[in-house]
Amino acid sequence: MPSTRIYHDLQIAGDDACEMLAAVTASCGVLLEGFDFNAYFPDETEALARYWMAKFGFDGKYRPLTVGHFSTVIRAGKWTEPV
């Protein structure tokens, strides 16, 4: 679903998120210049704690990055901030 959030719903964070972004960049030629990884994903060590805090409404530190927006980025070939 386009509204599915990559970190908050799918729990993709840390090294997994970094690897996913690198794979898309390499295979689709997407430029992620200006993308602030730390604004959307926690690092590997804090991912689980942050996930549960967000699940219960206690942590709004990370912006949501949806599958739909990431698809838009891939089609555009470059990073754009979600609206």
25-69, pLDDT tens digit by residue? 899 999 999 999 999 998 877 777 776 776 777 766 789 999 999
Residue at 41 is within a domain: yes
pTM of the model: 0.81
Q: How many domains does the chain have?
A: 1
8 pLDDT above the threshold of 70: yes
Residue at 38 is within a domain: yes
User: Helices (DSSP H) in the chain: which residue ranges?
Assistant: 14-28, 37-40, 47-55, 67-76
Residue at 8 is within a domain: no
Residue at 7 is within a domain: no
**Which pLDDT value is given to residue 80?**
94
| 67: helix, strand or coil | helix
Whether residue 50 contacts residue 59, with contact meaning beta carbons closer than 8 Å, is answered with: yes
> How many whole angstroms separate alpha carbon 17 and alpha carbon 51?
14
Residue at 43 is within a domain: yes
**Which pLDDT value is given to residue 46?**
78
**Which pLDDT value is given to residue 37?**
95
**Which pLDDT value is given to residue 59?**
63
Domain that holds residue 19: 14-76
